[in-house]
Chain A
């Protein structure tokens, strides 16, 4: 494996470790998305990988070189890891080009034209950070990280400061750049759309523990627990006998007649279709419809048994 993290533990308060026994590995060229709520320790994890925070136990190795374990600590500047921070920290006293080549080893200067073309920043090289848009600043940070040919690229919430209008195009551009340079990447985000759009694999992180680490489609269809299920999208709750099952909104169909009658509470137009909110057996359900449905109207819905998801009862608490 290219990147291997084993039993990583990190804490500020020993009683409440922020990361407990984190373990996963990444193949060369893969893009991994690290998904978790705000404050769950995602950025701390990236800083541990980059050497900006020290770990308390476990090990991190990259390309068969141990970066950090009980007896080894490779300094951040010697790790060959590119880091794009959330707030795009471009140095304000340097222009775009100076920012990109800042403290750059001579052997990488040949990459400048390639990186500028790749990131579309060729025409802005003499501009200062305050003269760049949010997207241009972000691409500059990516260029500054990639020009050094890092063995690993860390992206910390790279799209969170962008407005929704340019977020999608930026996501695509960054994806294209990373794939073209075949750079192994860890993307930290709290936005599920970022993960689903870019990542080869998603790692869901909660309470300092990996909840699930898998391909996006498998994770969506076969979530390991209710937290993973919930973080990846809405779930409708269904009681069959004494058991509780869940079904995804897109697996629910509006039909002419069935055993499941639901009272519509709201109908939202979402461009391609309508999202319906209704009440079924005293539970709120969401699903989609091609046609608009009036409020308080009673309709029938149906779903396949195969699409029902079952979790152990302890996990139910996550839905509260």
Chain B
């Protein structure tokens, strides 16, 4: 009775019911997996358990460890230097250090293996110039350690971005305080700044974990067995969906473990950036440090963007005559179409959920908002599997066949997987605005829809643009979901790049990878401009 009474006095009921329905649709595929886990036991799970499961587990965690180490190495130090020091080239580095985000991990993997191969430019140069050294470099680079370093190069921008914002927003007070307490700059960094920025850095690192768990293209190319490749193998090679589901649920447990770790990290210590304190003053650099700073800032950019970019451009020139421009344009159009449409839907859904959470102030909406964000932590292969299970079980075969492999399901999967990417910038922008805007709006006669339309949409427009660009880039690079759920005869730049590369026809994939990189880079540079307008940090 109490519940019914409470429900009756809840405001904005229609908005809340709408959000519950959409959340149900978003969580359903994952729920189906867990239901299936108990109803359809896999035939080959005990075989996997006896043979390769330990290998999968070790490889997955080892890869996460190496990648995390290198993302921290490539991300943290440039972020600290750029947030604190003024030197020639600083603005350039600040602009280009984001750019590896435009290169999908699998392209990074394919490209570097080609560069380092026996016929590649590095070994050819060494053979011609330093023949003695050449034999030391003629090794098998398809190793998990190499992949870890390459993933580190592709994914360090997540840590760089989080750390860069955290270091800049800390303000000068903490630095001044630590100096007045007698700490050197290096000690201030380790004892004050790093612990204070830990939640932000860990949230960046959490994204790296999730990307590694979700990685399929590069891991498959390197021949390393992880949970994600295991799911594909059980499903497509062994034809055993039950085992694929069991592996997917195991992977979800790993994801859940990292999720809890991230929550513990951010809840144990609550920090509030002193946004009202003066922005960190930039220090001039001594000449003796200048070279070191340039090295620290340029290495991630050169290795993470410049070298693969130049190599791919070179490949494009060399294979220019064999480029199928019609196909390239068709696939570019497909990619832009599906990424734009999905991103647009994601932004609307994300804004809807965040707005309902804001106006309803009920616990259930806060919980839902957290739950639907979990999609980003769920690997694409698991989401794909969940959706196929869902449609093949609840509908008759005619409808399920026509739905699976349609744009609807592909976009549905993208929304589940990338909703958190779209939500993040909108959420932080909404939180920046005081609650009194809503109260003032209501006091001046606005209902919820007009409040959204007349106040929140215009004042959060930069965040909406940022969210659109980030989801667009992520969807454009996405591989496992697209491979599993794309409509028949439908290719994107990502799938075409992967298919050529996996068939060892890397030069032919270059024009497609270059298109992904160019579109992504242009959007990232535009995004940087938007962020600079939105967030005036030094």
A: which residues have CB within 8 A of B?
Answer: 47, 50-52, 54, 76-78, 81-83, 85-87, 89, 91-93, 102-104, 144, 148
Contact = CB atoms under 8 A, between A and B. Distances in A.
Given A89-B434, A93-B458, A93-B459, A47 B447 contact: no
Contacts of A82: 443
Indicate the member of B434, B437, B439, B442 with the most A CB atoms within 10 Å: B439
A78 B443 CA distance: 9
Contact of B439 (A52, A102, A148): A52
A87 B439 CA distance: 12
Contacts of A81: 443
B43 interface: no
Contact of B444 (A47, A87, A93, A103): A103
A89 B444 contact: no
A233 B299 CA distance: 66
B439 A85 contact: yes
B330 interface: no
Nearest to B9: A54
Contacts of B402: none
Interface residues of B, number: 18
Indicate the member of A87, A92, A103 with the most B CB atoms within 10 Å: A103
Contacts of B443: 50, 52, 76-77, 81-83
Contacts of B458: 93
16 contacts: A47-B439, A50-B439, A50-B443, A51-B442, A77-B445, A82-B443, A83-B439, A83-B443, A85-B436, A87-B434, A89-B434, A102-B454, A103-B444, A103-B445, A103-B446, A104-B444
B446 A91 contact: no
A83 B440 CA distance: 7
Contact of B442 (A52, A102, A104, A144): A52
B238 interface: no
Nearest to A79: B443
Given A77-B447, A87-B436, A89-B437, 8 more contacts: A50-B439, A51-B442, A85-B440, A89-B440, A91-B459, A93-B458, A102-B454, A103-B444
A102 B459 CA distance: 15
Contacts, number: 51
B455 interface: yes
A148 B443 CA distance: 11
A102 B446 CA distance: 10
Nearest to B442: A76
Q: Which are the 8 A-B pairs with shortest beta-carbon distances? A: A77-B445, A89-B436, A85-B436, A93-B458, A83-B443, A76-B442, A103-B444, A89-B440
B463 to A, nearest CB: 13
Contacts of B436: 85-87, 89
Contacts of A77: 442-447
Contacts of A148: 444
A50 B443 CA distance: 7
A52 B440 CA distance: 10
Interface in B430-480: 434, 436-437, 439-447, 450, 454-455, 458-459
Given A77-B442, A77-B445, A144-B444, A91 B437 contact: yes
A54 B10 CA distance: 10
Nearest to B455: A91
A103 B445 CA distance: 7
Indicate the member of A51, A54, A78, A92 with the most B CB atoms within 10 Å: A92
A92 B434 contact: no
Contacts of B445: 77-78, 103
B444 A102 contact: yes
A138 B55 CA distance: 66
A268 B214 CA distance: 70
Contacts of B434: 87, 89
Contacts of B9: 54
